[in-house]
Amino acid sequence: MDKKKTPVFVDTNVFVIDLRYKDDVNFSANRDFLDFVAGQGKGFTSITNLLELCGILSFNLNEQQISELFHYFPLKYGVEIIPSHNIESFLEISVKEIMEIIYKKASFGDALIAHFIKNHAGGNAVFVSWDAVHFKHLVPIKTMTPKEFLLTIQR
C-alpha cells in the first residue's frame, strides 16, 4: 500500500490533541502525521467528526470561535469534509445501519463514524485514530494510529 497516495480518514481525537493537548506524549507524532496528511492532500474526515470537535472545544471557545473553527477547519488542516461541509446540509443516516454497527459493541459516536467510513471511504482508504483498535472490527478499511501510519510511510 502506497501511503503517499492513499486517502486517509482522520478521526476527531487526532485534531483534539493538536488543538488542545500540546503537552500530550503523542503531540509530536500527531503533529507530524497532520503535516504529512496536509502535504499530501489526501486527508478527509466526516461532518460528524467536525461537529464532535466543535462540541468538545465549545466549553473553551465562544460562539464566534466555534463558528470560525467549523468554517475554516478544512483550510487549517488541508482535509476534505464528507459528505459535505455546508452548514445548511442535513445528515442522512440509516438507523438500521447504525444499529447494525452498535450490535458489534460500538458507542453511538463510533457507530456514526463507522457509518460514514462504510458509505464514503473507498476500499483503499485508511482510518487513522488514537483509538484505532476500537474500529478494527467496525470498518471495512485498514485502521491504525498516527504513529503506526508514520512508521509505514518510512519503510
- As given in the structure block, the three cell numbers for residue 133 are 483498535
Domain assignment present for 39:
yes
State residue 155's pLDDT score.
64
18-43 mean pLDDT: 95
Confidence of residue 45 (pLDDT cuts 50, 70, 90): very high
State residue 2's pLDDT score.
54
Domain assignment present for 120:
yes
Concatenate the DSSP letters of all residues of 27-49 into one string: HHHHHHHHHHHHHHT-EEEEHHH
Burial profile 42-51: b = 16 or more Cβ within 10 angstroms, e = fewer: bbbbbbbbbe
* pTM, rounded to two decimals: 0.91
Strands (E), 5-123: 8-10, 43-46, 79-82
Least confidently predicted of 31-40, 88-97, 100-109, 125-134: 88-97
Domain assignment present for 48:
yes
Per the structure, how many domains does the chain have? 1
Domain assignment present for 3:
no
d(CA 65, CA 74): 15
Domain assignment present for 18:
yes
Domain assignment present for 20:
yes
- Answer yes or no: are the C-beta atoms of 43 and 76 closer than 8 Å: no
* Domain containing residue 64: CATH number: 3.40.50.1010
Tell me which residue range forms the domain holding 37: 8-154
Burial of 128: CB neighbours in 10 Å, binned 0-12, 13-18, 19+? buried
State residue 87's pLDDT score.
77
State residue 122's pLDDT score.
80
Domain assignment present for 1:
no
- Number of Cβ within 10 Å of residue 154's Cβ equals 7
